[in-house]
Amino acid sequence: MCGIAGYFQLKGKTQPDRELIARMINIIRHRGPDEFGVYLDNKCALGQARLSIIDLSAGSQPLANEDGTIWISYNGEVYNYIELRSQLEKAGHKFSTRSDTEVIVHAYEQWGKDCVNHFNGQFAFAIYDKNKQSLFIARDRLGIRPVFYTIHNGRFYFASEIKSIFCDSSVPRKLDFIGLDEIFTWWTTSPPRTAFENINELEAGTYLEITNGNISKKRYWQMEFPETFDNQRSADSWAEELHALLVDSVRLRLRADVPVGGYLSGGLDSSTTVALIKHFTDTKIETFSIAFFDKAYDESDYQNQMADFLSTNHHQIKCSYHDIAENFPRVIWHTERPILRTAPTPLMMLSGLVRQNDFKVVLTGEGADEIFGGYDIFKETLIRKFWAKNPDSAWRPLLLRKLYPTLPLSPARARFYLESFYKAGLSKTDKYYFSHIPRINTTTKIKEYFRDDVKTLLKDYDSVAVFGQDLPGNFNNWHHLAKAQYLEVKSLLSGYLLSSQGDRVAAANSVETRFPFLDHRVLKFAATIPPKYKLFGLKEKYALKKAMSKELPPEIVKRVKQPYMAPDSNSFFQKDSPGYIDEILSEDVIKSGGVFNPTFVTKLKAKCAKLSHAHLSFKDNMSIIGIISTQLLIDQYLDNFRPVEALGREAFKIWHEEI
């Protein structure tokens, strides 16, 4: 993982802006503090902040081909670089390093834009082709590594983080209210939209090319599901092939010239990755986990059980309410968008623990829930679809009680709550977002706190429709579980879990996360597993549990999924809470922010303070976190954006100018 940044003159040429590119790199140096590099000419600037992981001594960037006509700035890893290098050498390409970066350069020479289809990895890179006077930018299939861009004053700017683009002070910094509307519907914007006007995010699985001043984009990959499944194949057979794929995916993701660790949450997914490292490689694994003082969120007993079972050298950090409130402004500086839960904050503390122990790379279990049917939203979809066939049935909604047997309500009240909550939208089985209606209904209640003029501005915008604009052609023929999985991958996984809760909070501490479940071969195979082997009745991730039954203790395999969460409202309304909270939630500051109704926010703040030791509703928790994070975003990026000094020339290992 690294940071990339630069610009490209759309037409004509200009004097290189050395100071600008040095500022753009300095502000994202947390992504790659090991080395800095720049390429400059009168058309293009490429900058790079490097986290050295492969070929530590010779993999410096920007890096060029043999004759210096193609230059690259690259963030990420292409795990199959050894196999690709062999192919490219047979085709006549000459290499001067052992890095995966150089493999991308030669792959681009060999296959052109189609090179991305040969890569197994997580990446965002920019290639400047001097002969063609073109810029080529590509992003990995699921958008694990970010890249943003804008066009301003005839120049195309790009960077791993938006703050780098804002280093040109002439680039306007304004909130995009439609972007906020999308976040307060889906937890994320729908790319290319971001939380800032005219700042774009390159979509996952997409590349962009600029030639002769014209910009074109093409999507080269997206999640696909079959219309029919092989239901004759046995569960054991599916599990066996899945196991073999996961072993190979883990093996590839251990390729590094530095030690690789593993996150251990105590759940099935991270336990699987660590167990596969333990049993199928010779890597001596060290593990890292987060624990909570609030027992409602704490999984440390399971974490310690797995660490003992696998005999790992285990490291743990414990998180308090105060830790979350104190670190939250820094989290928003890195997420660059409002968030609705505090969950990224403990993960930022966890990546700090990784770094303190001299690790740069960790494997983690994200993605398994989405591709193997682990979330409650998938079970809810099955029940609601079944219920929708007979909406007046008295016993069909009782199945919901099996999902939530421990609700702290009387049986009568629990039934009333579940039925009224999940019955909403029951007649909309033809809508692409049927599976997500309950979540959308909860999330959109945050918009009740918008000012009247903001509500008026957004009254004709349909944020629910945004992820339905480019559905695969045969989407309507898919099984309803497949539709729900596709939408979860497209929205929450790519836009939130891999971003605000993934890349951003790991990069904040110069740590690279790797995801064995998101190997595109695993994704493709998982999509073909029949729904009955993902949700076996209401047992989640059946195929994965079967595949891992020999390497994990039964307590972990049989454990019901516990979603990773952290204390929300409680974190900000304790006696020792930081002073900034009262300030940013004051009526004057809310009013000047121009987003929320000060009177409504004051009432919500009073309620949160009064119930600081109680568990509030999802609506209240998401509302207060959404408001606090939006106010912090306004403060940090609009009102008080802090420009950084340009890095001095002596700080750059590579400084290559061609004028």
Contact 655, 38 (CB under 8 A): yes
Mean pLDDT of the chain: 94
* 152-190 pLDDT tens trace: 999 999 999 999 999 999 999 999 999 999 999 999 999
Q: How far is CA 554 from the centre of its chain?
A: 30
Contact 55, 257 (CB under 8 A): yes
Predicted confidence band of residue 420 (pLDDT cuts 50, 70, 90)? confident
Q: Kindly tell me if the per-residue pLDDT of 427 is higher than 70.
A: yes
Burial state string for 203-212 with b = 16 or more CB within 10 A and e = fewer than 16: bbbbbbbbee
pLDDT of residue 638: 98
pLDDT of residue 408: 56
In 10 A of CB 565, how many CB atoms?
Answer: 14
Q: Kindly tell me if the per-residue pLDDT of 149 is higher than 80.
A: yes
SS (H, E, C) 379-420: HHHHHHHHHHCCCCCCCHHHHHHHHCCCCCCCHHHHHHHHHH
In 10 A of CB 597, how many CB atoms?
Answer: 19
Q: Kindly tell me if the per-residue pLDDT of 532 is higher than 80.
A: yes
More confident residue, 413 or 637: 637
Amino acid at 373: G
Mean per-residue pLDDT, 551-573: 91
Predicted confidence band of residue 414 (pLDDT cuts 50, 70, 90)? low
Query: How far is 604 from 625, CA to CA, in rounded Å?
Result: 11
The values of phi and psi at residue 617, to 5°, are -70, 160
Amino acid at 500: S
pLDDT of residue 472: 96
For residue 631, CA distances in Å to 173, 348, 378, 544 come to 15, 20, 33, 41
Query: How far is 600 from 343, CA to CA, in rounded Å?
Result: 25
User: For a pLDDT cut of 70, what percent of the chain falls above it?
Assistant: 98
Going by C-beta distance under 8 Å and a sequence separation of 6 or more, which residues neighbour residue 586?
A: none
Contact 625, 342 (CB under 8 A): yes
Where does 158-286 have alpha helices with state H? 162-165, 177-186, 235-253, 268-280
Query: How far is 357 from 313, CA to CA, in rounded Å?
Result: 11
Going by C-beta distance under 8 Å and a sequence separation of 6 or more, which residues neighbour residue 580?
A: 329
Q: Kindly tell me if the per-residue pLDDT of 381 is higher than 80.
A: yes
Mean per-residue pLDDT, 200-220: 97
Query: How far is 382 from 376, CA to CA, in rounded Å?
Result: 10
Query: How far is 97 from 531, CA to CA, in rounded Å?
Result: 45
Predicted confidence band of residue 528 (pLDDT cuts 50, 70, 90)? very high
Q: What is the pTM of this model?
A: 0.96
Minimum mean pLDDT range among 6-15, 18-27, 51-60: 51-60
Q: How far is CA 618 from the centre of its chain?
A: 22
Query: How far is 529 from 229, CA to CA, in rounded Å?
Result: 7
pLDDT of residue 410: 64
Query: How far is 298 from 266, CA to CA, in rounded Å?
Result: 10
Which strands make up the sheet holding 313-319, listed edge to edge? 313-319, 286-292, 260-263, 361-363, 512-514
The values of phi and psi at residue 329, to 5°, are -60, -40
Predicted confidence band of residue 226 (pLDDT cuts 50, 70, 90)? very high
User: 436 in the Ramachandran plot: left (φ > 0), alpha (ψ -120 to 50) or beta?
Assistant: alpha
DSSP line for 25-86? HHTTGGG--SEEEEEEESSEEEEEEE---SSTTT--SSEE-TTS-EEEEEEEEETTHHHHHH
Contact 223, 325 (CB under 8 A): no
Tokens of 170: 């002439």
Calculate helix-pair angle for 598-610, 618-633, nearest 10 degrees. 120
Mean per-residue pLDDT, 217-231: 97
Closest CA to 122 of 108, 99, 137, 138: 138
Q: How far is CA 375 from the centre of its chain?
A: 17
Query: How far is 623 from 626, CA to CA, in rounded Å?
Result: 5
Q: Kindly tell me if the per-residue pLDDT of 357 is higher than 80.
A: yes
Mean per-residue pLDDT, 507-531: 98
Query: How far is 524 from 529, CA to CA, in rounded Å?
Result: 9
Query: How far is 369 from 563, CA to CA, in rounded Å?
Result: 10
Query: How far is 253 from 100, CA to CA, in rounded Å?
Result: 13
Tokens of 520: 């595109």
pLDDT of residue 407: 56
pLDDT of residue 559: 84
pLDDT of residue 459: 96
Q: What is the dihedral of CA 374, 377, 383, 386, to 10 degrees?
A: -110
Predicted confidence band of residue 628 (pLDDT cuts 50, 70, 90)? very high
pLDDT of residue 539: 87
* 393-411 pLDDT tens trace: 777 777 777 777 655 556 6
Query: How far is 272 from 551, CA to CA, in rounded Å?
Result: 8
The DSSP H or E segment spanning 421 is helix 411-423
DSSP-based three-state secondary structure for 511: coil
The tally of CA atoms less than 13 A away on the side-chain side of residue 132 is 15
